[in-house]
Structures are given as C-alpha cells and as structure tokens.
C-alpha cells in the first residue's frame, strides 16, 4: 500500500470509517499547528481534526441541496483560535461559508452570478466555477478569510469574509478580442517589434504582457503578511501571479506581478507535440538553495508543475514534473533546466487514467524541503526530491483519497500525510528527511547505530499496527516496504542483521513486563500474555507484508514462527492449569489434587530452569516467582518444561515397586496423569498456533519456515513423551483396578505413545541433516514396545463392555442403521465408538504399525464388532493413496506375507477376487510357486505357464515337486493359445524337463534331488565308464551313455559353452565305446562268407547303442529346435557323424570298421529322417 516509513497512523473516527469509502470527494487542509480532513457524503460535509483519531468530534455541515458535479471545499484552521472556517462552492456557482464550523449554525449561502457572459446564467447545473482557493485573514481573535474563485470565462473573484460580513469583488475579467485589423504598416511594425524583443529581451518567450484569458485549472493563495496575499493562477497556457490586498484594507488593490508562458516553455523543453498541464503546487515556506559548505545562501520558493505530453517521436503520453524557482526579489519564475532536466530525463510512464469529475491529480509541496508529493486519480502515490532526481513510486490503492503536508514534528521537519479510506490518516517521513548518514560497518556486520535504528523501526511499525488493530481497522499494509527500509540499514547484509530480527522476536515474547517483587495474579498474567501474543502476531504480519521473512534463512524464519508457537503453548498451559484447579476443587471429571500438584511441581521446576540464565534471578525465591518466571519467558521456559517433565516422570518410575502401601500405585497413576495432561496442553496450544500460522501465510512462505523438524520434535520433547509412555507401561502391571488401568491408558499412555510417534516421524521426514542414530530404529520398534500393553487394556475394556451388555445393544443399533440421539442405545454406541481399540487402530494406521494394526483388527473380529472386511478397508485405502503401486513395507504386503507364512493360502489367493489382483501378483512375483495360481485365477494362462516354468527351475529340493510343476506348466501351455510362439517354447521346455527327470530316475542315481543337465550327464558318464571298466561292457553302461547323450541333446541354448561341448563329445565317445564296432565288422565278414542275408546285419546295426543314441538325439534335438529356433538338428548330427568317423579312423581299426560305421550312420540317418521332419 505505502512503501514509506509511517511514523503515525491516525485512526478514522467511527462515523467516518463507514462512509469514507462511499464518499464522492475528500481532502486535507493543513493549518499552522494542526491538520483537518474532510469528506463529502451525499449533501453533508464531514470535517474532523486528524490527530484526534477515533474519538475525534465530527463537524457535520449540511448543504441545502445535493450538489451536482464537482464541489470545491476549503477548510481553514485559525492559528490563535480553535475555530475552523469551511468554504464550499459547487461547480454551478453556489457558495456556502461556515465562519466557525464548531458551532451548529446555518451557513452563509448564496447563489453567485459570477459570469458577465449572458450564456452563464448562474443556474446550479452550469459548470461556471473551475477553481477555489482560500486562506486566513485578520489577526488576534477575529475570524476572517480571503477566498478567490475562478470561473470558466477566465474571471477571478475575490471574497473577503469576517464576522462583519462577506465582501465580494471581481478583480480580473479578460478583455474581449475585438478591434479593427491592423493595416500593412501596423503589421510591419509589429513584426519589427517582435524581432527586436526576441533578439534583445531575454524574457520575450517567457514573460507574458497580460494575464491569461483562459479559465483557471487551479488556484493557490499564499499569505505574504497580515493584509496581503500572493495568488498563483494555473491555466492551460500560463502561470500568473497576483498580489492581493484585503478589501477595504491598508493595501487595498490587486496587481498582476507576472504572467509566465508556462505552456510554451515546457513544450520547448520537452520537445512536445502536445502538452497538457494537470496540476501544480507552490512551497509555502522558504527553501534553502544551497548548503553551508557551499558558502552563503539565499531563500527561494519552488513551483512544481505536473504535465503530460507527447514527444516528438513518441506515440504514448508521458508525465513529467517540472520545477520552477522563485528567487527572492525576482519578477518572474525561473525554469531551471538542470533541475528539471534531471526529472524530465526520467519521465515517468503511467497508465492513462480516465478523467474523473470528482478526482484529479493532486500535488503538494513540502514547506521546508525541495520535495513534493503527488497523488493520481487512481490512487498512485509518487514522491520527488531534488537529491534523488527521478520520481519515486510509493504505492497505489484506490482507497488513497488525499495528500497533504502536516505541521512540524519533533525533529522540526514536516511529514507527509495520506488520507486512506481504511487506514485513516498516515503520517510518513519524506525521503529527504530519512537519515542517510548512519555509519556503516565494514564487512557483513552492523554498527550499533544501525542496530538501534532497525529495532526502533520494528517497534514503531508494530506500535502503529497495534493502534490500527485495536481500532478495528486494517493494519497489514502499514508494513509494506519494511524489508526495503531495513535493507538500507544493512539488516540483510550479513547473518548479524538477520539474527537481529530473531532476537527482536524473542525479546518481544520473553520480555518481563512486571516490576517489583510481588507475584502477579493468573488473570493479570494472562492479560500480559495476550498482549504479547497480539504484538508478536502483528510483528509476524509486518514481517510477512513487508517481505522480511523471505530475506532471512529458513532456520531464522522457523525460529520466529517457533516463538509464536511457544507463546501459545504457555498460554494453553496457563488455561489448562486454571481449569484443572477448578475441576479438582469441584471433584469433577476425575481430576484430583495429586494431578494438579504434579503439574505444578513440573511448572515450578521449569521456572527455576528458565531463570538460571536471567541476571539477578534467585533460585531460592518463592514458588510463585518460579511460576511467574515460567509464564513470562516462553522461549526459555518451554524447552525447560520438557526437561522438568523428564525429571518428574523419572522420579515416578524410580519409585515403582519400592513401596508396599496400597495407595502407592494409585498415587503414581495420578502423578503421571498430571504430567501427561500438562504436556498435552502445551503441545495442543503450540500445534493450534502452527495451524493458524499455516492458514494465514502463503504456502510458499510457510514452507520456507518449515524446512526443519518442529521444536516439538526435538530430543527434549521426545525424551519427555518417552518417559511418560514407558512409565505407563511400567505402572500398568502394578495397578489392580481395571478402571485405573483404563484411565491411565486413555489419558496418558496412548496420548504419550502417539505423540512420541509423531515427533519421531516429523524428525525423520523433515531433517535436512542425517538423522541422529537410533531415531529410525525407535520409530520402527515403538509399536512392539507399547502395542501389547495397549491391546491388552483394549481387550479388557471390550470384554467389560460385553459383560455389561453394551456391545450387544450397540451392535444391534449399528446393524439396524438407526441414528439415535438419546436413550440407552445411543449411549452404548457413543461408548463403543470411544473404546480404546478404535483409537489404537487409528494410531497404528497413521504410523504404519502393521503388526499392531493387524492385531487390532483381529481383536475386533474376535469380539464380533467387525468382520474381515475391516482389513480390506485399510488395504483398499492404502492402495488408493499410493495409486496402486505399493512398496514392500506397506500394510497390504504385510498382510499377504503374514498369510503366506501362516499357510493361509486360500485366504491369500482370494484377495485377487476382492480387488487386489494387481497387488497380489506384484507380491507373489517373488513366489512363483503361488503366483501361477493367481494368474490362472484371473485367466492369464500363458503367463501362468511361464511362471510354472520359473517355479520348476527354482525347485531344487524335490523331484516330485518339480515334476508336478513341469506337468502343470505343459498342461497350461497346451491350454493357452497354440499360436503363441512363447507358449510353444514353454511347452517344449517343460517336456524336456520332464524327460530329464525321467532319465534321472532311469539311471537310479543315489541322489533324490533334481540335478542340472550338466550334473546329470556327468553322473551318467561316470556310471557308463564304471560299467565299461568293471562289467565288461555291460548293457547298463550302454544305457547310461545313451542317457547322457539324450540329456545333453535336451538342453537348449547351451551348445556354445565349453562345458557342454566337452560333455557332448565324451558322451558320444562313451556310446561308441559301448557299440563295439569291431564286433560289427566280424558279423559283417561272417555274413559275407556264409552268404547270409543282409537283414541280419541290419538288425545287428539297429541293436547297437550308437544307433539307439542317434535316434534318441534326433528326437531330443527335434524338440529343442522348437525352443531354440536357430538350432539345426541335421547339422548337429552331421557333426557328430564326422567326429565319430574321425575317431574310428584315428584308432586304425580292423579292415571294414569304417565301412561298418558308415553303414550304421546311414541306417540311423534314414530312421531319423521322419523324426527330424516333424521338427
């Protein structure tokens, strides 16, 4: 709203604040000692003294008719009297004068006929009045005024008023343009005269011979002495100056001092095609034209002219401020190019605003500084000062109504005054009056002078905002530009300045307002705390509106917010303690004096710890002073409270079981309840304030200050909650009464457990540095430490409800779907909803305590409160929040893992039909032996075949299980689409796997677990070799060798490995060894000699192991080629044949051995052709 240092905020009177926003026009008038403001509301002029604020007496000046068009109002305070004269004149020419507006007397009212032109007949609707100015006249106690009215025809009328009457006089009427046209000789003489004047008269283009004949845009009446005034008349073409005397006075008469060619001079200076004069102002005092260091000075006044123009080449209008000086004794103002060019070189481009009937540009000159203030019709505030040159933008608001220069303040320099419809009259320092010479320190540090000025600025801003707040007015915009003003004091230059803001916040919260030794009452102390809270909230509002928080580090922003939260926590503790004392006195709500005493002891201990760092504090002071110290210093006392609660809770835990008295456990229970309630109250107050700040601040700004864990999640608060929770667990086993156990768990154990989890989670989530050792472990193990005790108490409570019949009544009411408001059934439902088990369930769900949540749902299921759908509700909610993609640590996976481990496979697989098909298969992806069932269940037969193949490969413990999986895999592959190549390959691989298992059984190996093809082939070769060495080439060895060949032929995608090639060659050599080619040669030779049938030799060939091995290999390779498309069975067999022939030839066998081998291979190839053709 206003980027300036506001020094005073004068609140609007109550009667004005409601109507000012609807007022048609308003203004301010400065007197010798005070300033008045006025506004027109309908047909009433409301006038009040600015400094009187909200209680200002109101002058209500009623017009006899509703004014149409513009109205000119001048409020004239008198220097030696409390009287104030008000003059109003409508644009239609109706004049109203209240000689002393303090008295409810009717005004002098007259319809003026100020125009001599017959066309202006004086009707109220005619805009015959275009300007008005007035000033005081007379001396002593007499009330007088001098007023000048300008009319549309260019005439000027003087009105001298006093208690003796009002005396009018027209002193200027433009002469009509008439007369004969000069002849040639006269015209030539005029030209010669003009050329002479231009050559030898320096004022020819500046000074006019006569006053302007155009209507006045603005008038300014300035007193010279008690009986003379200077009148400045601004017209669209010129600036005229008249010297006026009082009517009937010693200096009676009017004299034109000079007429300045303003339009012509400025058009040349700005090289303007078009130029319009908007407004002007004249400094009422004397402006020094030099400095003491520059030598002698003389006095001068300044005229500021605000114009708009089109440059020689520009297409848009620009605004410019021109400065004219009136030297003492000069006859015409002097346009100073150096001064004005400094401004014109920084011509301010503004959005064009529509002309307003009631609001126009306002310009106010400072009475002592070379500076002026401007207000646009749209509410933009601009400031110019000669030292800075360009116009400065101070803010914009449509509620800015008027500007003025108020009377001198304590430093002797007047402030600017801005009238705002919401904030009232705001005084702010001119830029030229702001100290610029505050010494700066080297580096990033601040000087003591800068620190003092910054703190004074903060305190003053908060004070002004407080004043507006107490008056019920807006206050936030008063801090606009605060960051810029602090930056000029080097606040943001280094860490010292930024820390100064944190220290100011802490000082405001921790200030000790009381003096003396007496102890203040709780009511008085609460009033002090409320005052602190209001002031600190206003400081936060100033930091936010003034863009200060964005300039500090996230840690410093967090510290300022924490101060507000700590103050709110202390206030909550004070209210809680008062309520507890009242409840204990009335024996209400189960509150006992033991609880109050335990909390008071903790507060007193915290007060002692808080006062340790305070100079002059006596630790042996009375308990009341410790109590007061705790509440007076929240920033120090809140961390001390956590430490005090840890000490008090440790005392209770240390005494557990040390006494045998019957009432000891109950007494300890009440102590823990008091300590827990105290800590809960403090945390609730701080959290409520944090939520309030989050709602009041923009998200980005609040996140800037929430970059780290909250102060409520530090080690000290965690230790306090931990001590309370562990103390409850320790004490539960000592309590004999179920009611005491329930009270302890409801009011202390569960809140402490939940708060501990909250602090641990906040620390883990928001820590910008590595989390301290043990924090994550404690968060993960807290549920296992406290969950059993909570569930045991919850089950005890539900059992008691069942015995009392509450469960049955509540269950029936819930099942009926009735909404009960009263009666036994309604009470049962309410009591059931408040049961501990539901609260434990909520905490377990929020903090992902999976085991505790599962056991809680089991407990509800066991007592018939809920069905198995409760688990599904939690699981579905988790799935929705995660978008369907769950992590391994999710509750849904925990349930699935628990059911799988417990063997509840039917229950597990049934989840696929309950909406968890995707999550179930995601979980079972690491358990293919179960995944295929889910895939078959959902109709994914092809995927199930692949999963079964994977499961079979992973099955290493049982041949029977692998056989079952491979059989199911082949069955699933057959049931799937036959056109799917992947499924076909899967089916072939399954068949190969089954054949390998069959071969392993045929070999009758001592191993019962499935072997790999390499292991199985090696075992077969070992058996074949043993048979050849010991049993003389027995049939068992031959079968083992054939099995080795078939096993290796069934292996897909391994033909290129070195191990495979070695085993492959060894297998065929073993088969060749068991085939006895020499015997075939003998059979062939004997058959030849006996001329036997060739069929006998053919049968002999087919009976050899080599023949059988070739057929087995052909069949196996045909199946493998379905899996491995690049495999060519013929090429493989041809390679085998060549290897065998080479091996026989290498041994130099008997005659005919190679031929016999070739016959054998040929016969085997002929038999294998149909098999290979099927591939």
pLDDT digits (tens, 9 = 90+) for 564-582: 999 999 999 999 999 999 9
CB 154 within 8 A of CB 162: no
| CA distances from residue 981 to 744, 775, 947, 976, 977 in whole angstroms, order as listed | 68, 54, 16, 11, 9
Q: What is the 3-state secondary structure (H, E, C) of 468-537?
A: HHHCCCCCHHHHCCHHHHHHCCCCCCCHHHHHHHHHHHHHHHHCCCCCCCCCCCHHHHHHHHHHHHHHHH
CB 749 within 8 A of CB 690: no
Distance CA 928, CA 916 (A): 17
Return the top range by mean pLDDT from 286-300, 506-520, 1134-1148.
1134-1148
Task: Give the list of residues 6+ apart from residue 1092 with CB closer than 8 angstroms, or none.
Answer: 1086
pLDDT at 353: 41
Give the range among 108-122, 261-275, 714-728 with minimum mean pLDDT. Answer: 108-122
pLDDT band at 118 (very low <50, low <70, confident <90, very high): very low
Give the range among 541-555, 793-807, 1117-1131 with minimum mean pLDDT. Answer: 1117-1131
The pLDDT tens digits of the residues spanning 958-1013 come to 888 988 988 998 888 888 865 577 888 888 888 888 888 888 888 888 788 888 88
pLDDT at 898: 92
pLDDT at 149: 95
In the numeric block, the tokens 């492959």 are attached to 1064
The pLDDT tens digits of the residues spanning 1090-1137 come to 655 566 677 777 788 888 888 888 888 888 887 777 778 888 888 888
677 pLDDT above the threshold of 90: yes
pLDDT at 729: 93
CB 1128 within 8 A of CB 1111: no
Give the angle 625-630-633 at the CA atoms, nearest 5°: 115
Six token digits for residue 753 = 């457990």
pLDDT at 349: 42
Return the top range by mean pLDDT from 55-69, 570-584, 762-776, 1114-1128.
570-584
436 pLDDT above the threshold of 60: no
Distance CA 124, CA 122 (A): 6
Local structure of residue 207 (DSSP, 8 states): B
| CA distances from residue 604 to 69, 88, 608, 609 in whole angstroms, order as listed | 72, 69, 6, 9
Mean pLDDT of all residues in 86-94:
92
Mean pLDDT of all residues in 115-143:
67
pLDDT at 953: 86
Which stretches within 256-325 are classed as H helix?
A: 262-270
pLDDT at 683: 96
The SS3 assignment for 320 reads strand
Residue 936 or 703, more confident: 936
Give the range among 324-333, 481-490, 871-880, 941-950 with minimum mean pLDDT. Answer: 324-333
Residue 442 or 221, more confident: 221
Task: Give the list of residues 6+ apart from residue 693 with CB closer than 8 angstroms, or none.
Answer: 540, 561, 564, 565, 702
CB 972 within 8 A of CB 944: yes
pLDDT band at 393 (very low <50, low <70, confident <90, very high): confident
Residue 376 or 518, more confident: 376
pLDDT band at 522 (very low <50, low <70, confident <90, very high): confident
Six token digits for residue 962 = 């692998």
The CB density around residue 29, as the number of other CB atoms within 10 Å, is 21
pTM summary value:
0.72
The pLDDT tens digits of the residues spanning 239-251 come to 999 999 876 666 6
CB 1103 within 8 A of CB 1038: no
Residues of the chain with pLDDT > 90: what percent? 29
pLDDT at 658: 60
pLDDT band at 596 (very low <50, low <70, confident <90, very high): very high
CA count, 13 A, side-chain hemisphere, 279: 15
B/e letters for 37-50, b = 16+ CB within 10 Å, e = fewer, are bbbbbeeebbbbbb
Six token digits for residue 549 = 């928080």
pLDDT at 351: 43
Of 717, 639, 685, 673, nearest to 526 by C-alpha is 685
* 515: exposed, middle or buried (Cβ count in 10 Å: 0-12, 13-18, 19+): exposed
Residue 717 or 521, more confident: 717
The pLDDT tens digits of the residues spanning 286-340 come to 654 433 333 444 467 889 999 988 888 877 888 888 888 887 767 778 887 655 5
pLDDT at 184: 53
The pLDDT tens digits of the residues spanning 149-185 come to 999 999 999 999 888 888 898 999 988 754 455 555 4
Distance CA 96, CA 1110 (A): 131
The pLDDT tens digits of the residues spanning 705-748 come to 777 788 999 999 999 999 999 999 999 988 888 899 999 999 99
Mean pLDDT of all residues in 833-858:
92
Beta strand spans in 283-432 (E):
287-288, 299-311, 318-327, 334-335, 362-365, 371-375, 380-385, 392-396, 400-408, 414-420, 424-428
CB 695 within 8 A of CB 688: no
Average pLDDT value over all residues in the chain: 82
Residue 341 or 910, more confident: 910
The CB density around residue 392, as the number of other CB atoms within 10 Å, is 15
Q: What is the 3-state secondary structure (H, E, C) of 879-946?
A: HHHHCCCCCCCCHHHHHHHHHHHCCCHHHHHHHHHHCCHHHHHHHHCCCHHHHHHHHHHCCCHHHHHH
pLDDT at 192: 46
Give the range among 428-437, 520-529, 781-790, 866-875 with minimum mean pLDDT. Answer: 428-437
């Amino acid at each position: 709203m206003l980027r300036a240092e506001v020094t005073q905020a004068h609140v609007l009177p109550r009667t004005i604040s409601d109507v000012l926003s609807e007022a048609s026009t308003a203004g301010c008038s400065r007197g010798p000692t005070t300033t008045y403001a006025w506004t027109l509301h309908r047909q009433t002029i409301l006038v009040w003294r600015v400094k009187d604020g909200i209680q200002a007496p109101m002058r209500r000046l009623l017009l006899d008719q509703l004014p149409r068009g513009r109205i000119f109002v001048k409020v004239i305070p008198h220097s030696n009297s409390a009287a104030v004269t008000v003059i109003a004149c409508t644009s239609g020419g109706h004049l109203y004068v209240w000689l002393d507006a303090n008295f409810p007397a009717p005004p002098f009212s007259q319809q003026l006929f100020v125009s001599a032109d017959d066309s202006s007949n004086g009707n109220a609707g005619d805009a015959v009045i275009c300007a008005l100015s007035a000033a005081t006249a007379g001396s002593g106690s007499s009330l007088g005024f001098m007023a000048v009215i300008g009319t549309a025809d260019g005439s000027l009328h003087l009105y001298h008023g006093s208690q003796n009457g009002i005396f009018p006089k027209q002193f200027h009427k433009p002469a009509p343009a008439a007369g004969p046209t000069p002849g040639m000789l006269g015209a030539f003489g005029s030209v010669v005269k003009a050329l002479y004047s231009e050559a030898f008269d320096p004022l020819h283009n500046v000074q006019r011979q006569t006053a302007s004949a155009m209507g006045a845009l603005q008038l300014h009446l300035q007193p010279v002495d008690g009986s003379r005034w200077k009148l400045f008349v601004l017209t669209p073409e010129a600036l005229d100056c008249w010297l006026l005397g009082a009517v009937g006075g010693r200096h009676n008469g009017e004299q034109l001092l000079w007429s300045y060619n303003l339009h012509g001079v400025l058009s040349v200076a700005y090289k303007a095609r078009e130029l319009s004069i908007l407004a002007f102002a004249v400094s009422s005092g004397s402006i020094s034209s030099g400095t003491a260091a520059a030598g002698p000075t003389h006095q001068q006044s300044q005229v500021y002219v605000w114009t708009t123009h089109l440059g020689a080449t520009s297409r848009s209008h620009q605004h410019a401020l021109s400065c004219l000086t009136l030297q003492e004794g000069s006859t015409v103002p002097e346009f100073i190019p150096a001064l004005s060019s400094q401004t014109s070189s920084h011509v301010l481009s503004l959005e064009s605003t529509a002309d307003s009937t009631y609001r126009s540009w306002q310009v106010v000159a400072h009475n002592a500084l070379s500076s002026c203030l401007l207000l646009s019709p749209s509410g933009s505030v601009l400031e110019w000062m000669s030292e800075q040159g360009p116009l400065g933008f101070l803010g914009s608001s449509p509620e800015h109504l008027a500007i003025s220069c108020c009377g001198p303040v304590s430093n002797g320099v007047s402030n600017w005054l801005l009238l705002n419809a919401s904030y009232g009259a705001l005084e702010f320092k001119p830029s030229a009056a702001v100290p610029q010479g505050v010494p700066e320190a080297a580096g990033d540090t601040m000087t003591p002078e800068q620190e003092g000025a910054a703190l004074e600025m903060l305190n003053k801003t908060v004070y002004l905002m407080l004043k507006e707040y107490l008056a019920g007015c807006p206050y936030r915009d008063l801090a606009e530009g605060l960051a810029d003003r602090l930056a000029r004091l080097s606040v943001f230059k280094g860490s010292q300045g930024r820390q100064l803001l944190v220290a100011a916040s802490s000082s405001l919260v921790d200030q000790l307002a009381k003096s003396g030794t007496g102890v203040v009452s709780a009511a008085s102390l609460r009033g002090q705390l409320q005052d602190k809270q209001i002031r600190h909230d206003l400081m936060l509002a100033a930091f936010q509106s003034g863009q200060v928080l964005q300039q500090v580090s996230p840690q410093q922003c967090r510290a300022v917010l924490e101060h507000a939260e700590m103050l709110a926590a202390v206030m909550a503790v004070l209210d809680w303690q008062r309520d507890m004392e009242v409840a204990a006195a009335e024996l209400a709500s189960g509150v006992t004096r033991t609880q109050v005493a335990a909390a008071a002891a903790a507060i007193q201990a915290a007060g002692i710890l808080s006062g340790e760092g305070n100079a002059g504090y006596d630790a042996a002071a009375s308990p009341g002073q410790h109590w007061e110290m705790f509440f007076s210093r929240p920033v120090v006392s809140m961390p001390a409270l956590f430490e005090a609660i840890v000490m008090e809770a440790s005392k209770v835990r240390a005494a557990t079981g040390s006494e045998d008295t019957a009432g000891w456990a109950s007494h300890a229970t009440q102590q823990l309840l008091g300590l827990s309630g105290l800590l809960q109250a403090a945390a609730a107050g701080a959290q409520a304030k944090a939520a309030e700040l989050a709602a009041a601040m923009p998200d980005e700004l609040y996140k800037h200050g929430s970059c780290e864990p909250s102060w409520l999640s530090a080690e000290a608060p965690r230790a306090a909650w931990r001590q309370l929770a562990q103390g409850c667990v320790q004490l539960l086993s000592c309590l004999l009464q179920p009611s005491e156990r329930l009270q302890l768990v409801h009011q202390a154990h569960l809140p402490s457990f939940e708060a501990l989890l909250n602090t641990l989670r906040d620390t883990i989530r928001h820590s910008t540095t590595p989390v301290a050792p043990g924090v994550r472990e404690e968060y993960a193990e807290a549920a296992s430490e406290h969950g059993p005790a909570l569930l045991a108490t919850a089950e005890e409570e539900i059992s008691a409800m069942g015995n009392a019949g509450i469960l049955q009544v509540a269950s029936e009411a819930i099942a009926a779907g009735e909404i009960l408001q009263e009666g036994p059934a309604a009470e049962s439902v309410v009591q059931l909803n408040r049961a501990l088990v539901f609260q434990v369930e909520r905490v377990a769900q929020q903090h992902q305590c999976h085991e505790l949540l599962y056991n809680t749902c089991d407990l509800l299921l066991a007592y018939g409160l809920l069905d198995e759908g409760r688990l599904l509700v939690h699981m579905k909610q988790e799935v929705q929040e995660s978008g369907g993609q769950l992590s391994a640590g999710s509750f849904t996976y925990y349930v699935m893992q628990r059911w799988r481990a417990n063997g509840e496979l039917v229950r597990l697989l049934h989840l696929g039909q309950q909406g968890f098909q995707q999550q179930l298969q995601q979980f079972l992806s690491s358990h293919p032996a179960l995944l295929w069932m889910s895939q078959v269940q959902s109709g994914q037969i092809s995927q199930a075949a692949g999963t079964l193949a994977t499961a079979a490969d992973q099955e290493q413990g049982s041949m029977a299980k692998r056989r079952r999986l491979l059989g199911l895999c082949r069955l699933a592959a057959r049931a799937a689409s036959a056109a799917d190549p992947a499924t076909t390959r899967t089916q072939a691989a399954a068949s190969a796997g089954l054949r390998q298992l069959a071969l392993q059984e045929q070999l009758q190996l001592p191993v019962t677990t499935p072997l790999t093809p390499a292991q199985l082939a090696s075992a077969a070769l070992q058996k074949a070799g043993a048979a050849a060495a010991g049993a003389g080439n027995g049939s068992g060895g031959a079968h083992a060798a054939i099995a080795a060949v078939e096993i290796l032929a069934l292996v897909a995608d391994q033909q290129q490995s070195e191990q495979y090639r070695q085993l492959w060659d060894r297998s065929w050599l073993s088969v060749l060894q068991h085939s006895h080619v020499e015997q075939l040669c003998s059979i062939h030779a004997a058959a030849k000699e006996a001329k036997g049938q060739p069929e006998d030799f053919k049968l002999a060939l087919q009976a050899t192991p080599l023949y059988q091995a070739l057929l087995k290999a052909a069949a196996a390779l045909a199946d493998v080629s379905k899996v491995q498309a690049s495999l060519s069975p013929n090429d493989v067999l041809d390679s085998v044949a060549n290897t065998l022939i080479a091996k026989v030839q290498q041994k130099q066998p008997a005659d005919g051995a190679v031929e016999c081998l070739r016959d054998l291979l040929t016969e085997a190839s002929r038999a294998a052709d149909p098999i290979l053709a099927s591939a």
